[in-house]
Structure 1
């Protein structure tokens, strides 16, 4: 009962905040929502399918560039946004056939290599804007109504996150979700019980990419500009930290972890950009704090914030 009340309170706050926040705060709200969409998919991949990905920002970039390139070349913005998760999921399905044969840290490094290759291709391709980036992406328009204010994108992100959570929760509660939990515990035992291990792993890999692709598509219209530097390796590390801190075994953990880390990133950026700090201070601080958070989470919150708070609430 208390959990339901907390969920309703969080939903009400999420609906009310865009009206009272100012410009910079609205930007943080949008970025937190986009990060939550990506992290929910990663939490499914890592917590329920037991697969580690250090390249989730790749699918975020694919979704963003898909929406941006299609729209710049005359495709209606709404169709460009719809194509973003589809292409990201399709790309994940193709590369996942080979990547998901790997296990553990081999898979993690392979997904990291995938992102590095993608960033290199984008930086050297004129059709993607090269190192300068893709410019002139128009604002998203729906039914002839242009979304030209940050508050519009705040509610668009909230709608996207709501849809993502509904899909994820329905999946977890389904027969496929039970198979995924068995898969995360032991692939051998799951396979012996009749779970189609390969198909399930590939399916959740593609679904997590679709979530990231949708977030990337919204990001493209919100920012109006894309460059390879918008999707650094550090961004993929952030998503992993968000998923681990929030709780890999829960869908809501992705949201909690994303909001907490985005707010922490803003604090670190403020500290790193103070007078007298070197230019590389924000990155160094971020890597150091992410590493520290992972150590703390593994030692003291192995299941993440949400499961820990749930246990405390029951006790």
Structure 2
């Protein structure tokens, strides 16, 4: 508890001491943590692999952006973002969750590729040029115009995500999910509604990603298909694995660590003399190396290794 209180105090105090670029990294880390907590639940608690989590991030972002651009109050657009992302996941999940293992992973990856193709070719979404003119988030007469305000909004959103996820993990369905991750056959024999639980956690993880995407839309003010590459979904998987699958703190720790690493790689890859393809090559190489290192020396992830146990 003392560690959590100390972490909360540092998190709340830190934005005051950060400049513009550092605040941007702080916001991106919080958004990534929101998505990764949901993915960590999906992979660690329900045992389902997703390589398309950025799809729900994009759906939430475009939902908030499109609604606000067409005159809907921004706060309503933000509230709609997780709902639409969850609804899309429920519809898609009813089909793809019948698959297992690598087949499910590739199906979620294909889902993202199809979504990006649709967005790039749809004039109503801005096409390849992107959706522009998204207003700042406002509630009543109060507008969030400063980066530091979005920094606190993002981490408040993360707090909500963590509370919801914590209550789920500690509940009876949470115990059913842990049984499902261990053995679907044994869980079903024990009376766990395997299909329903799997779809529920898939939908919840999509809602978390949709909420993060909605905040991202108002923070950036612009959306394009290039904002949600396949590499982003891979980043989320790396974050969840590095932090510790199935652990809430692991999702946060992994997200912050990888966001900082990505920023360092971008600085290195864009330095004078580096080829144009250096960012992508460096990213894939480092992610692959990280996964190998984690599997060999920290198979449960950073947080479980520090705590000496597998689950939160």
Q: TM-score, normalised by structure 1?
A: 0.97
1:279 aligns with 2:276: yes
Q: Distance in 1 between matches of 2:13 and 2:86?
A: 32
The match for 2:99 is 102
Specify which of 297, 300, 304 is matched with residue 301 of structure 2. Answer: 304
Query: What are the Cα deviations for residues 44-92 of structure 1, in whole angstroms up to 9, with x where unaligned?
Result: 0000000000000000000000000000000000000000000000000
1:292 aligns with 2:289: yes
Q: Distance in 2 between matches of 1:200 and 1:300?
A: 32
Q: What is the deviation of 1:143?
A: 2.2
The match for 2:207 is 210
Q: What is the deviation of 1:144?
A: 1.1
- Runs (4+) of structure 1 exceeding 2 A deviation are none
The match for 1:175 is 172
The match for 2:60 is 63
Q: Distance in 2 between matches of 1:310 and 1:288?
A: 29
> Contact 1:272–1:282 (CA<8 Å) still a contact in 2?
yes
Q: Distance in 1 between matches of 2:241 and 2:104?
A: 17
The match for 1:43 is 40
The match for 1:75 is 72
> Contact 1:42–1:243 (CA<8 Å) still a contact in 2?
yes
Q: What is the deviation of 1:249?
A: 2.5
Q: Distance in 1 between matches of 2:280 and 2:25?
A: 18
Query: What are the Cα deviations for residues 261-310 of structure 1, in whole angstroms up to 9, with x where unaligned?
Result: 00000000010000000011111100000000011111111110000011
Q: What is the deviation of 1:120?
A: 0.1
The match for 2:219 is 222
Q: Distance in 2 between matches of 1:95 and 1:308?
A: 35
Specify which of 240, 244, 250 is matched with residue 243 of structure 1. Answer: 240
Gapped regions of structure 2 (runs ≥ 5): none
| 3-state secondary structure, aligned to 2:173 | helix
1:195 aligns with 2:186: no
| 3-state secondary structure, aligned to 1:189 | helix
Q: Distance in 2 between matches of 1:74 and 1:32?
A: 30
Q: Distance in 2 between matches of 1:27 and 1:184?
A: 36
Q: Distance in 2 between matches of 1:310 and 1:239?
A: 22
Aligned residues: 309
The match for 1:90 is 87
The match for 1:32 is 29
Q: TM-score, normalised by structure 2?
A: 0.98
The match for 1:156 is 153
Further displaced range: 50-59 or 289-298: 289-298
Query: What are the Cα deviations for residues 192-235 of structure 1, in whole angstroms up to 9, with x where unaligned?
Result: 00000000000000000000000000000000000000000000
Q: What is the deviation of 1:7?
A: 1.3
> Contact 1:249–1:303 (CA<8 Å) still a contact in 2?
no
